[in-house]
Amino acid sequence: MALRPILTYPDPRLREKALPVEHFDSELKQLVEDMAETMYDAPGVGLAANQIGVLQRVFVIDIADENEPSDLKVFVNPELIALDGVLVWQEGCLSFPGVSEDIKRAERVTVRAQNERGEVFELEAEGLMAVAIQHENDHLNGVLMVDKFNAIKRRLIGKKVARATTDAP
């Protein structure tokens, strides 16, 4: 396993659409392990492959509390097949250090995906898990949380991220 650098806004690679995974091999397994280690180290609850510069349709999520055992979920070639309800959730993003904003999302989602072995599964989720699935799926499509804001807020967020990345050790 290895920590991978996380791309930060406005890196143009974050806007690139990820490609479907075709090979479920040791390379994919290594990618998933690296993504999990990187996400936990950051620390975050989700990470999409294109956030580390890999244009594959893969994301990992673990919403377990610090005092709970890990509950890592791997989503390969995810497809949102149902969205229901509306909620507003304060979201952060590893590609936007120091930023958290209220974002409107579906309250419940159903996602169809494959695991790292290529096995197809469906998951119905609500609350934080539903938000995280939508957030990470957006990344795979080149959509960022800043796209949900008006132009003024986008400029302010850009300045805030620039300050956070230059102030980082």
141-166 pLDDT tens trace: 999 998 887 676 767 776 666 666 66
5 is a domain residue: no
State how many domains the chain has: 1
Q: What's the CA gap between 47 and 42, in Å, rounded?
A: 10
1 is a domain residue: no
4 is a domain residue: no
2 is a domain residue: no
Could you tell me the pTM of the whole model?
0.91
Q: Which domain holds residue 53?
A: 12-167
17 is a domain residue: yes
Asked about 16 being catalytic, the answer comes back as no
99-133 pLDDT tens trace: 889 999 999 999 999 999 999 999 999 999 999 99
69 is a domain residue: yes
Q: Are 107 and 87 in contact (CB under 8 A)?
A: yes
CATH of the domain at 71: 3.90.45.10
Q: Which of 16, 27, 37, 136 is catalytic?
A: 136
